[in-house]
Homo-oligomer: A and B are copies of this chain.
């Protein structure tokens, strides 16, 4: 059965030390779906945009075999817009503006044909919307969830209810510390895992990622990147690569989850090499495979 992604779709203004762009395709759903599309298809999305959402974006997503039946296009309204500026070292960004627009009243409606989706990725949206999505689904086999500081701080209880239902939570370092109220990541992971998620992935940006589960830890290296042009969407690309790979081969062993973490890292590394979603739009299977080999060489010793 299919892979369903629910989250935000937006148009971003992004400034990095290298360049700036306006009204570029963004949103968690977009990055997740594109990254997953290299492993498994169709990837079906549920989201909302306004009538300012360019046809070229629709076309590009369709070319990647992204199913758009769940995409609501609201006439006379504007797409979610976000603006940010990255600092010199790219690890910190200032939000410049957030115009929720159509996203403010987003009510995810899962198309009937997608209610039997076996794999779900809950992008970074309000926990009550994530719960709403899960309630519409018919017994999904594997649920992957993202969240962020904003929801941890404002909707802690709802988020806890989501965490009880998901197989994998993917968050970054600072989110893990905030969610667990514990600075040590290993302790933080135990605290979070006790709430519910069967597996926890903590993304550490330029330091790689940690996978926790089955009383085991896997430490994935980061791809050595000299030129990060735009970090936007890296975490979503990770979630898409991770879940897309698992959806493709349906092997839930810890060994295969490790590989999925590497494929997530690979898609994140491609994502940040170009602005907006450009780094995820024209990849070949050979490029992805070669980067897997590079990741393996990077951390191998005996």
Which residue numbers of A lie inside 8 Å of B, CB to CB?
88-90, 183-187, 190, 204, 206-208, 210, 217-222, 224-226, 228, 255, 258-259, 262, 296, 298-302
Contacts and interface: CB of A to CB of B under 8 A. Distances in A.
A262 B183 contact: no
Nearest to A294: B217
B301 A259 contact: yes
A89 to B, nearest CB: 4
B183 A298 contact: no
A222 B204 CA distance: 12
Given A208-B219, A218-B299, A219-B298, 10 more contacts: A184-B225, A184-B226, A184-B228, A204-B207, A207-B207, A217-B224, A219-B222, A258-B301, A259-B301, A262-B301
Copies held by the complex: 2
A300 B204 CA distance: 18
A225 B183 CA distance: 12
Contact of A206 (B185, B220, B228): B185
A259 B258 CA distance: 22
Contacts of A206: 185
A299 B221 contact: yes
A125 B284 CA distance: 51
In order of increasing CB-CB distance, the 8 nearest A-B pairs are: A219-B221, A207-B207, A89-B183, A258-B301, A186-B224, A186-B226, A299-B299, A219-B298
Most buried by B among A226, A228, A255: A226
A152 to B, nearest CB: 17
Contacts of A88: 183
14 contacts: A184-B226, A186-B225, A187-B226, A190-B226, A208-B219, A210-B224, A217-B224, A219-B221, A219-B222, A219-B298, A220-B299, A220-B301, A221-B299, A259-B301
